[in-house]
Chains A and B, each alone.
Chain A
Amino acid sequence: MDFSILFSEFADLTLNGVVVGAIYALVSLGYTLVYGVLRLINFAHSEIFMMGTMTCVFVTSILGFTGYEDPLPIWHFFLVFTLIVISAAIVSGGAAVILEIVAYRRLRVIGASRLSSLISAIGASFFLSEVFRLLTGNKNLDFPRMINKEPIFQFSSAYVTQDKILVLVGAVVIFFILNRVINHTKLGLGIRAVSQDERTSVLMGVNVNRVISYTFLIGGILAGSGSAFYMVFYETTRFNVGFLIGISAFTAAVLGGIGNVRGALLGSFVLGLFQQYTAAVLGYNWRDVITFAVLVLVLLIKPTGLLGEALQKARM
């Protein structure tokens, strides 16, 4: 256990933690929104994210990037990046909607047991990741560096680079848009209503199927966007990238309070920072074990999370 790195690199770790947290947030919002309307953990959400990353790689290869080019001029980069984000968002969003229809809808409609839905979710998750394992030949896929990653300035030990700024700014923009949707649109109202009380929502004329589809769509779009930021930052992906990101994002959602949007944000940043700090002390090997440990501890000690509602007991 070496604390010296933690102290000497504190600012850099903090900056990275916030950037990683932003990426987690985009993914964990998907978990939390779906949980809110379905009271179900969408196991396959991690694969939705993975498919987004694959889309990013695909788009860049179609555009002809080989990874050996010089960084693009800023405006050119924004154009390309916007295209990538939109593509990933469309693919992930679409996949999420299809996923809901194929793996969850029937079970929800016939009132199948929780266990059945969970198993179906897991089956879908594995199916998707394996399909991509075969498609990508189990290899790491790299994302070309299109942006200059030289530090623009340095704050204490923190290297502020363009990609980090991109992630942070982009995430903020997306959160802002999401907030508008959730709180100022009819759809958002529907989502909030179904999250609170599905039966009453139906009685009040809410089309629950549509709301649920849209919720999956939004979660997928967020994950897809997150995947684009992920690719710019980490520059690589593989078929099982969803698993680890998913565990972190899910833990973040639970940490903040599952079902609670602000909780997902808070939890993501807290977890992102926590991961960086503990990795500095214990080494990156143990990062996932630590993340699981956080998850277990939260569920045992304060299952409602930092901001969350109680894990509802069934209405008797």
Chain B
Amino acid sequence: MARILLETKNLTVKFGGVTALNEVSLQVNEGEIAALIGPNGAGKTTVFNIVTGYYKPNSGEINLDGESIIGLRPSIIARSGLARTFQNIRLFGDMTTLENVTTAADGLNKSGLIGSLFGSPRSRRDEKQSADKASELLKFIGLSHCAHQVSKNLSYGDQRRLEIARALALDPKVLLLDEPAAGFNPREKVELGELIKKIRDSGKSVLLIEHDMSLVMKVSDRVTVLDFGKKIAEGKPSEIQSNQRVIDAYLGVDEDAS
């Protein structure tokens, strides 16, 4: 029985008068690639925002590897194994590719400011560790060639991949990808799919928000569908594809699903 790494139970989130999420329960198991789909405005990114601690839910549970993470600050949640990318690319634009990843890698080091100032052995070790880990991640994802380029000057595809590399630097148990394929051409989408599988194979689970159905079908083990803040279906990709409720919710986005 696979371990549940991330789960929400009856998560309800209201913003003013709008109920963004209504009793949403979902889970991501160890070693799986899960997808979260639904029409625009269904609440998918809200799930990410809540689960990573940016907003507090009105009610419900959120557990990361069995422990509740409600009320924890986002940086603590990030360091506990939950990292994300963003729908609109949000890199540290004026920092280089390598620096972007190193900054995230720093998060797992415990050395503090005083240590850095006086060059304590631990801080020196941590610096090397962050640097090495960042280099390796760039190699893993194929960005070593532009390690010292200022990240805002990278190509769109490289920027998206950098965001992923940066999130990976936190050694997440679950990696949250928010529309990673947006703006990609078919070939890039195939490469992305391979990358996601490679990430899963390296021992991390992935929760993916995506609109591209072919990518979702090819890559995911399980799909959860949201509509108007409620979960309306859940299951294997093939099951979801033929689910009438899902088709109705999308009203014609169906053309992608071949």
* Tally of chain B residues near chain A (CB < 8 A): 7
Question: With the chains together, A313 CA to B49 CA distance in Å?
Answer: 12
Question: With the chains together, A316 CA to B45 CA distance in Å?
Answer: 8
Q: Does B54 sit at the interface, judged by CB under 8 A?
A: yes
The interface residues of chain B lying within 8 Å CB-to-CB of A316 are 45, 48-49, 54, 86-87
The interface residues of chain A lying within 8 Å CB-to-CB of B55 are 313
The number of A-B residue pairs with CB atoms under 8 Å apart is: 8
Q: Mark B39-59, 1 if CB is under 8 A from A, else 0.
A: 000000100110000110000
List residues of A (257-316) whose CB comes within 8 Å of B's CBs.
Answer: 313, 316
The interface residues of chain B lying within 8 Å CB-to-CB of A313 are 54-55
Q: Give the distance to chain B from A253, nearest Cβ to Cβ, in Å.
A: 21
Question: With the chains together, A68 CA to B45 CA distance in Å?
Answer: 70
* Tally of chain A residues near chain B (CB < 8 A): 2
Q: Give the distance to chain A from B4, nearest Cβ to Cβ, in Å.
A: 25
Q: Mark B183-224, 1 if CB is under 8 A from A, else 0.
A: 000000000000000000000000000000000000000000
The interface residues of chain A lying within 8 Å CB-to-CB of B49 are 316
List residues of A (130-187) whose CB comes within 8 Å of B's CBs.
Answer: none
Closest to A309 in B: B16
Question: With the chains together, A316 CA to B50 CA distance in Å?
Answer: 11
Question: With the chains together, A313 CA to B86 CA distance in Å?
Answer: 16
Q: Give the distance to chain A from B220, nearest Cβ to Cβ, in Å.
A: 23
List residues of B (3-50) whose CB comes within 8 Å of A's CBs.
Answer: 45, 48-49
Question: With the chains together, A313 CA to B55 CA distance in Å?
Answer: 9
Closest to B88 in A: A316
Question: With the chains together, A72 CA to B174 CA distance in Å?
Answer: 79
Q: Mark B62-104, 1 if CB is under 8 A from A, else 0.
A: 0000000000000000000000001100000000000000000
The interface residues of chain A lying within 8 Å CB-to-CB of B48 are 316
Question: With the chains together, A316 CA to B20 CA distance in Å?
Answer: 14
Question: With the chains together, A316 CA to B55 CA distance in Å?
Answer: 11
The interface residues of chain A lying within 8 Å CB-to-CB of B86 are 316
The interface residues of chain A lying within 8 Å CB-to-CB of B45 are 316
Closest to B86 in A: A316
Q: Give the distance to chain B from A72, nearest Cβ to Cβ, in Å.
A: 53
Q: Mark B153-170, 1 if CB is under 8 A from A, else 0.
A: 000000000000000000
Closest to B49 in A: A316
Closest to B55 in A: A313
Question: With the chains together, A316 CA to B49 CA distance in Å?
Answer: 7
Closest to B54 in A: A316
Question: With the chains together, A313 CA to B48 CA distance in Å?
Answer: 15
The interface residues of chain A lying within 8 Å CB-to-CB of B87 are 316
Question: With the chains together, A316 CA to B74 CA distance in Å?
Answer: 13
Q: Give the distance to chain B from A310, nearest Cβ to Cβ, in Å.
A: 8
Q: Give the distance to chain A from B89, nearest Cβ to Cβ, in Å.
A: 13
Question: With the chains together, A313 CA to B16 CA distance in Å?
Answer: 13
Closest to A310 in B: B16
Q: Give the distance to chain A from B30, nearest Cβ to Cβ, in Å.
A: 27
Question: With the chains together, A316 CA to B48 CA distance in Å?
Answer: 10
Question: With the chains together, A316 CA to B54 CA distance in Å?
Answer: 9
The interface residues of chain A lying within 8 Å CB-to-CB of B54 are 313, 316
Question: With the chains together, A45 CA to B54 CA distance in Å?
Answer: 33
Question: With the chains together, A316 CA to B176 CA distance in Å?
Answer: 14
Q: Give the distance to chain B from A170, nearest Cβ to Cβ, in Å.
A: 36
CB-CB nearest 5 A-B residue pairs? A316-B49, A316-B54, A316-B45, A316-B86, A313-B54
Interface residues of A, Cβ cutoff 8 Å to B: 313, 316
Q: Would you list 8 pairs from A and B whose C-beta atoms are within 8 A, ordered by A residue? A: A313-B54, A313-B55, A316-B45, A316-B48, A316-B49, A316-B54, A316-B86, A316-B87
Interface residues of B, Cβ cutoff 8 Å to A: 45, 48-49, 54-55, 86-87
List 5 additional A-B contacts (Cβ < 8 Å) besides A313-B54, A316-B86, A316-B87.
Answer: A313-B55, A316-B45, A316-B48, A316-B49, A316-B54
